[in-house]
Structure 1
């Protein structure tokens, strides 16, 4: 691993991205952690916590304690998207075109429509910094833990360009790890558990970002057909955690609804 990284199940935070001290008193009056001799109750094994886990725990604790998290749940119908991908592969394509690439493009369109999601509070919390660039972080499962490489200028790249870049950076993350520079500067993060399972979760916001999108396993759902029968649709669960100091619930609902609408038209995203 080229540079020691800081990783978490939902996000990665580079120290350079941290601005300003945590609010005074946060966690100061909590009772001490219980000290227990677990060997009293049965056989145990003691393993040291890695440096990465220690750093991760500190950032996660800070983010969870200082950011008022709310998680909005929604579903996106990706039946047409999956048909589009199937046709793409049947044409003998060589670039791996995953649903995650379309999520990146949909997220960019949603960030453009709702600029408060593409923002950060400054160090003292008095100003909202609106970003004019679109860098998306994507969680990658590796032997080092979950790392989040940042794909830059996603608004200027096609789905095929993003697919090739995502494949390359994911391979690098799994084989060698990533530098802090490769995990810094993100505007918005996506954490996908679709290949593992689940129906929803609460991803922790990657400060100083103000929102993060989690996705879980696609499920088949019956829907009424125009002919009066039933047809099965592929539904992708969306879990959007957002900073309630910056974003309200109505805008979160509009944000995920727009992502669902965009995913339903994969040809427009691929254009």
Structure 2
């Protein structure tokens, strides 16, 4: 049975998904339950699997492109099955998915928020209605038809659609292109190439007039440009390898780019990824093994470090936070002797591993109880205070810093809190975390004190309004009430907050409450130990 492959929704906060890698090529068979593509959302990666056996007839979303959850990704059907109806349906899939996502977000608003913004909602509704009337006059065409039209230079408004409800199919575009009067490329002064092929040619310095196109009606594809770049006359000509003779190479753009930088023939690399896909590690291994003898010692080059999907997402989110939030950081120190003593006593009494991080989370939760404006998020101009204390703990993993959530800190016993914190931290370190682990946080703690940091300015984790930085514990000479001096262990905190939402005086009071609980944690430990 033919069907459209949709972009899955990886968590409630997912707004779009990027198609990272196709594991199956267009025209190849797929098997039910087997992965056919890898995707990335704002916070995690996943695979799309085939629902039924068939053939990947149409790729609707290219590698590196994104769509909203529910957007059309590909069409799977039997090799000779008519898919024109599905192509027409998929043509509006991305817009419909985005519309459904917007509707779901609007429905999820708190009642008081919806009431407060009813005026603006009405305006938005009127704007959307007007937009819908404008969209109705747009050309209805499948994504593949639009792509072919762009490649062949066909104006879709001149094409008569023969697909479902008059939608334009790929065949309709090709028919118009074949019947249109043509001129020799030399007279036109330009070559026929896809937009992506032109972009790659510009990046690689390839003259498109020297490239032989293998696409439709001789149009130049991205693969044609890359093949021309790899066989440039700057290197001795070689006999075509088995790969050059027809072996299809599956490699993401980052792997191809790295191969060019390292002087590795991508067609001679054996892929270790799914379905033989070549990874960057495969390219580096080929370069280190000396599988190709260089004619001369290569000149030193400045290496690039492409950002991974997760690293890129972290960069985007932190950049968004710093651009949109008004960051202010305040600092305050506290005596840590009782904090350490309480953690040690709880560890002995409860029979579980209790650390100062667990007792500190109790102190943070108590301060959030007194100043709930900090246990909050800020989205769409709404400052939403949350009842549950869902505290994120920053964890450093190979791909970057992530912040899994320890939920309901205010209602957990100390033993439960310690066990849950250890569990979410371990899932983060082992890579077994899920979207649920990373969503729904209301406040974040980032502890760089374990690395010896004495002070830093933590960046707010959007859409939260504040983050607490925990600095190292160190011995300091302090005055005593008796007029002498003593050496005490002290800890300091750095609280960053969004000054649009809360003021500096509020932050000072929050830190004051936190310090009181840190310097006398026993009531909190006793109460939480008995829950």
TM-score, normalised with respect to structure 2:
0.42
TM-score, normalised with respect to structure 1:
0.80
Partner of 1:261: 516
Matched, 1:216 2:474: no
Partner of 2:199: none
2:335 aligned residue (77, 86, 97) = 77
Q: Is the 8 A contact 1:122 1:128 kept in 2?
A: yes
Partner of 1:110: 367
Distance 1:134 1:87 in 2: 25
Q: Is the 8 A contact 2:377 2:384 kept in 1?
A: yes
Per-residue CA deviations over 1:49-74 (Å, capped at 9, x if unaligned) read 11111111111111100000000111
Question: What 5-or-longer segments of structure 2 have no aligned partner?
Answer: 1-39, 45-68, 70-100, 107-299
For the structure 1 residues 144 and 88, does the alpha-carbon distance in structure 2 shift closer, same or farther, using more than 3 Å as the test? same
Alignment of 1:49-88 (within 5 A): 49-88=307-346
Per-residue CA deviations over 1:241-264 (Å, capped at 9, x if unaligned) read 001011100110110111010011
Per-residue CA deviations over 1:142-198 (Å, capped at 9, x if unaligned) read 233222111111110122211111111111111124222211101100000121011
Higher relative contact order (CA 8 A, sep 6+): 1
* Secondary structure in 2 matching 1:228: coil
Residue 93 (structure 1) shift: 5.9
For the structure 1 residues 86 and 154, does the alpha-carbon distance in structure 2 shift closer, same or farther, using more than 3 Å as the test? closer
Per-residue CA deviations over 1:195-214 (Å, capped at 9, x if unaligned) read 10111111111111100001
Q: Is the 8 A contact 1:5 1:179 kept in 2?
A: no
* Secondary structure in 2 matching 1:164: helix
Per-residue CA deviations over 1:102-132 (Å, capped at 9, x if unaligned) read 2211111111111211222331x1x322211
Cα RMSD of the aligned pairs, angstroms, is 2.5
Partner of 1:47: 305
Q: Is the 8 A contact 2:344 2:355 kept in 1?
A: no
Residue 6 (structure 1) shift: 3.5
* Secondary structure in 1 matching 2:314: helix
For the structure 1 residues 167 and 5, does the alpha-carbon distance in structure 2 shift closer, same or farther, using more than 3 Å as the test? farther
2:449 aligned residue (194, 217, 226) = 194
Larger Rg: 2
Q: Is the 8 A contact 1:136 1:186 kept in 2?
A: yes
Alignment of 1:1-271 (within 5 A): 6=43, 44-89=302-347, 91=348, 94-123=351-380, 125=381, 127-270=382-525, 271=527
Greater shift after overlay, 62-71 or 154-163? 154-163
Question: What 5-or-longer segments of structure 1 have no aligned partner?
Answer: 8-14, 21-41
